[in-house]
């Protein structure tokens, strides 16, 4: 026990963040018998504890071990990195020799057990088991994997039971990465409006619309990260969204109350993922911040957009979205009037996030007319659909 503890503690500190800047794949094998999980784990020197099993289920998008199908390929909780031909320490960007030694030892052990036929040098591959990766900031945990659909219908629990299944519609957004940051969350509800006996919280409505948008984008082949995420609330088909404080920041961090800390946390999350995806050859990356404004209750506000003041690309992105929204208003509004603008604003999230960014204000939460845009679930879906149409169009 003591030995295990030291071992674990030690690794928590040894890995530098740069490990995840590398490209990796998972080791994969075909199961011959669904009851073989423990056997396979043992063979690959993986501990059969909950975390390993959960991670295994997560990367394979499985609801449980009983859903394993014989002879199908599955990923094991072992990361495969391309060896640079010099040293393990250097390849993985480790700060510590001992961490590299433990990995070398693990690879040698698998070779002597005849699980790996070739050495690191021969195969040019380093295998790092999940239990040696722990303590990382960006960890592809089951609930924390990016949302990316394959070509078949797939399940994404974050959208809630009745909306978890996604059927692919197109591959138009293939290789596009979107970060959706719904405003506020956790201890910060954002704007609050009263409606009869109900209180409307900005963060809940922004999150629901964010989920609907994410779901649309995934169905068109995009890879989406919900930066603000709620483990309990999926897409909700009710007018009045219950207020909670369960939201977390990617991957599953508590959201601090302090405003600057709160924004820094989500900007950092976006930027780390951005670097990771960039290192993996993804060129098209966008971040969308979703907010509902709080203005005097007699003021109607059409959807409008802020761009990063010094970024032409951000301005172009915002304008493209605004043009689509304008068209949609023209089609649906009797007087065809639309006043939503695009303007630069020096906001922390626009300034600090690395992908091309846009900040959408979806309306005035205090205004009775505008509330009709947010309260009926169908209208929240319509907002998501309009934004999706804007993103599907070439900028």
CB-wise, 80 or 266, nearer to Zn ion? Answer: 266
Closest CA to 139 of 287, 12, 289, 9: 12
At closest approach, how far in Å is the CB of 31 from Zn ion? Answer: 47
Q: How far is Cα 170 from Cα 124, in angstroms, rounded to an integer?
A: 37
Report the alpha-carbon distance of residue 219 to residue 211 in Å, rounded: 12
Are residues 55 and 18 in contact, defined by beta-carbon separation less than 8 angstroms? no
User: In terms of CB distance, is 111 or 294 closer to Zn ion?
Assistant: 294
Q: How far is the CB of 302 from Zn ion (least distance, A)?
A: 17
Cβ proximity to Zn ion: between 202 and 233 the closer is: 202
Give the shortest CB-275-to-Zn ion separation in angstroms. Answer: 27
Q: How far is the CB of 389 from Zn ion (least distance, A)?
A: 23
Q: Which stretch binds Zn ion (CB under 5 A): 21-29, 57-65, 172-180, 186-194?
A: 186-194
Strand order in the sheet with 248-249: 228-229, 248-249, 253-254
How near is the Cβ of 185 to Zn ion at its closest, in Å? 10
**Residue 291, interface with Zn ion (CB under 5 A)?**
yes
Q: Does residue 275 contact residue 21 with C-beta atoms inside 8 Å?
A: yes
**Smallest distance from the beta carbon of 344 to Zn ion, in angstroms?**
18
| Closer residue to Zn ion (CB): 183 or 210 | 183
Residue 183 is a binding residue for Zn ion (CB under 5 A): yes
* Residue (176 or 307) nearer to Zn ion, CB: 307
Which of these ranges, 207-215, 223-231, 269-277, 291-299, lies near Zn ion under the rule CB under 5 A? 291-299
Shorter beta-carbon distance to Zn ion: residue 201 or 223 = 201
Q: Please report how close the Cβ of residue 326 comes to Zn ion at its closest, in angstroms.
A: 23
**DSSP H or E run through 277:** helix 259-279
Which residues, at least 6 apart from 6, have a Cβ–Cβ distance to it below 8 Å? Answer: none
Binding residue count for Zn ion, defined by CB under 5 A: 3
Q: Is 215 in the site for Zn ion (CB under 5 A)?
A: no
| Closest CB to Zn ion among residues 183, 186 | 183
Report yes or no: 177 and 277 within 8 Å, Cβ to Cβ: yes
The count of other CB atoms within 10 Å of the CB of residue 18 is: 13
Q: Which stretch binds Zn ion (CB under 5 A): 37-45, 58-66, 175-183, 315-323?
A: 175-183
Task: Spell 112-141 as b/e; 16+ CB within 10 A means b.
Answer: eeebbeeebeebebbbbbbbbbeeeebebb
Q: 29-63 b/e with 16+ CB inside 10 Å = b?
A: eebeeeebbeebbeebebeeeeebbebbbbbbbbe
Q: Fill in the per-residue mask, 250 to 289: x = in contact with Zn ion (CB under 5 A), - = not in contact.
A: ----------------------------------------
Single out the segment in contact with Zn ion by CB under 5 A; choices: 17-25, 50-58, 113-121, 290-298.
290-298
Distance, in Å, from the CA atom of 395 to the CA atom of 389, rounded to the nearest integer, reads 11
Coil/strand/helix, residue 77: strand
Whichever of 183 and 355 has its CB closer to Zn ion, that residue is 183
Closest approach of Cβ 184 to Zn ion, in Å?
6
CA end-to-end span of the chain: 57
Q: Which one, 205 or 329, has the nearer CB to Zn ion?
A: 205
**Left (φ > 0), alpha (ψ -120 to 50) or beta: where does 258 sit?**
beta
What residue ranges bind Zn ion (CB under 5 A)? 183, 190, 291
């Amino acid at each position: 026990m003591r030995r295990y503890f030291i071992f674990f503690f030690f690794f928590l500190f040894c890995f530098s963040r740069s490990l995840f800047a590398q490209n990796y794949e998972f080791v994969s094998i075909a199961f011959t018998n669904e009851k073989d999980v423990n056997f396979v784990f043992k063979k690959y020197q993986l501990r059969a504890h909950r975390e390993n099993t959960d991670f295994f289920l997560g990367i394979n998008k499985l609801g449980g071990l009983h859903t394993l199908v014989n002879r199908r390929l599955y990923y094991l909780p072992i990361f495969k990195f391309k060896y640079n031909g010099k040293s393990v320490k250097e390849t993985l960007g480790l700060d510590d020799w001992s961490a590299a030694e433990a990995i070398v030892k693990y690879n040698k052990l698998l070779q002597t057990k005849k699980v790996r036929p070739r050495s690191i040098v021969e195969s040019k591959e380093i295998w790092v088991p999940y239990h040696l990766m722990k303590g990382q900031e960006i960890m592809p945990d089951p609930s924390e994997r990016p949302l990316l659909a394959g070509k078949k219908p797939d399940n994404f629990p974050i959208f809630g039971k009745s909306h978890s299944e996604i059927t692919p519609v197109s591959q138009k957004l293939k290789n596009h990465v979107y970060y959706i940051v719904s405003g506020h969350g956790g201890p910060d509800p954002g704007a609050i409006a009263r409606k009869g006996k109900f209180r409307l919280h900005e963060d809940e409505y922004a999150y629901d619309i964010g989920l609907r948008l994410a779901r649309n984008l995934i169905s068109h082949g995009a890879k989406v990260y919900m930066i603000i995420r709620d483990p309990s609330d999926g897409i909700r088909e009710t007018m009045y969204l219950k207020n909670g404080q369960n939201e977390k920041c990617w991957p599953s961090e508590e959201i601090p109350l302090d405003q600057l800390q709160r924004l820094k946390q989500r900007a950092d999350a976006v930027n780390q993922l951005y670097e990771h995806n960039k290192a993996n050859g993804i060129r098209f990356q966008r971040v969308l911040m979703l907010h509902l404004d709080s203005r005097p209750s007699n003021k109607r506000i059409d959807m409008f957009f802020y761009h990063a003041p010094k970024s032409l690309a951000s301005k172009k992105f915002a304008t493209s979205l605004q043009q689509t929204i304008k068209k949609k208003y023209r089609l649906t509004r009797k007087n065809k009037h639309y006043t939503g603008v695009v303007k630069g604003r020096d906001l922390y999230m626009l300034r600090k996030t690395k992908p091309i960014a846009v900040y959408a204000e979806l309306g005035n939460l205090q205004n009775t007319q505008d509330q009709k845009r947010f309260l009926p679930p169908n209208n929240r879906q319509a907002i998501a659909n309009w934004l999706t149409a804007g993103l599907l169009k070439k900028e």
